[in-house]
A = this chain, B = another copy of it.
């Protein structure tokens, strides 16, 4: 967040693929020599409120974005599901111990464990109302909002050829006059600790599978972001 001058709370709400896409997109704009300029909003008292760095007005309408990603939004979904799972697991254990206390009386070993579990559980799980916007693949739209790109905007997936296909689409858009420039950003990260146990582990023969969470999944080379 700091390296790119972005709000930390905003970045925290992005899926990992969105974060990669935005970082790669900002670097691509720099490489292409396209400057971002500070936009302001006039206030009712005649002042100017800074809105943030955006594409120059002359470029905004004519800049499209294609986000190539095969697993966008999955990290947020899995993280949230694991957070609920942890809560439900503790709740089930607490219920079980309560039942034992009811049936056989307040055994010290049981009541002590019960108190520990209640402390461990803390606040019950609640789903954030904005969750759908984190789990939905939104990197293309979030990046467009951030830099003020108002041209065509989409996420595409063709598995490993997603970015190649995105580049051909970008060429189509320019040839047909849908816009004058397209930012193509590709990003996926399935070897992070959240997704690797699901998406990488599944590709391994079970007898060679390392224990969940005990292995450095990053040794699999499938994290990355690219721009064109």
Contact = CB atoms under 8 A, between A and B. Distances in A.
A49 interface: no
A1 interface: no
A78 interface: yes
B153 A206 contact: no
A23 interface: no
B132 A159 contact: no
Copies per assembly: 2
B109 A100 contact: yes
A169 B113 CA distance: 60
A215 interface: no
A154 interface: yes
Interface residues of A, number: 60
A126 interface: yes
Contacts of A2: none
Contacts of A81: 78, 81-82, 85, 198
A121 to B, nearest CB: 13
Nearest to A97: B96
A216 B59 CA distance: 47
Given A100-B110, A103-B109, A157-B137, A202 B85 contact: no
B135 A199 contact: yes
Nearest to A136: B70
A78 B140 CA distance: 24
B104 A107 contact: yes
